[in-house]
């Protein structure tokens, strides 16, 4: 990831976790994520005015450009919040679904080391497109799909995986 080259923040897991927490706070769903020059674009459906979810309340498209600097601030905020929290891993029943889901997707993406990332979510399932460059310079797009059930299983297994690191 270009914005964190040469710094200690070189992993997608923490970047996406922080952006997921932002999505949770903004109360948006059905998200689309795109890496752009100087940051990221996050788009989703949300309740106007940040009200509560309801079948009778119309959803509107919300678009947020999150700059590289803002990503760093979001990451710092999440780190501070986690340090002050007593609860290490909330159950995936999930008030903070996007924070948890994007964290585990970030762990997956870290293993692939893409040059560019795009994904979208529908009803808790994710489709990722990663641009990879092989050691011989060949450029390829890699696609991955995760159902909501797979994401929930990844979230539930994450504490065991962290202990094994």
Residue the block writes with tokens 């498209």:
61
Domain boundaries, the chain: 2-163
CB 114 within 8 A of CB 78: no
The pLDDT tens digits for 114-165 are 889 999 999 999 999 999 888 898 999 999 999 999 999 999 998 776 555 5
Query: How much is the pLDDT for 98?
Result: 95
For the entire predicted model, the pTM comes to 0.80
The pLDDT tens digits for 73-112 are 999 887 766 655 544 434 445 679 999 999 999 999 998 8
Residue 44, pLDDT above cutoff 90: yes
Q: How far apart are CA 122 and CA 126, in angstroms?
A: 7
Return the closest-CA partner of residue 46 out of 24, 33, 28. Answer: 28
- DSSP reduced 3-state for 92: coil
21 pLDDT tier (thresholds 50, 70, 90): very high
Query: How much is the pLDDT for 47?
Result: 77
Average pLDDT over residues 54-82: 84
Return the closest-CA partner of residue 100 out of 84, 113, 87. Answer: 87
């Amino acid at each position: 990831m270009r914005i964190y080259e040469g710094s200690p923040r070189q992993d997608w897991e923490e970047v996406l976790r922080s952006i997921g927490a932002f999505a949770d706070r903004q109360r948006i769903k059905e998200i689309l994520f795109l890496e752009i020059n100087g940051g990221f674009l996050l788009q989703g459906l949300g309740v106007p005015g940040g009200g509560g979810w309801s079948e009778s309340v119309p959803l509107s498209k919300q678009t947020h450009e999150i700059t590289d600097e803002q990503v760093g601030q979001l990451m710092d905020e999440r780190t501070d919040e986690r340090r002050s929290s007593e609860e290490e891993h909330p159950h995936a029943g999930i008030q903070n679904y996007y924070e948890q889901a994007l964290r585990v997707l970030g762990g997956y993406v870290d293993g692939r080391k893409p040059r560019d990332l795009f994904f979208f979510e529908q009803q808790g399932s994710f489709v990722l497109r990663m641009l990879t460059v092989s050691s011989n310079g060949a450029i390829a797009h890699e696609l991955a799909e995760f159902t909501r059930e797979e994401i929930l299983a990844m979230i539930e297994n994450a504490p065991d995986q962290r202990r094994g690191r």
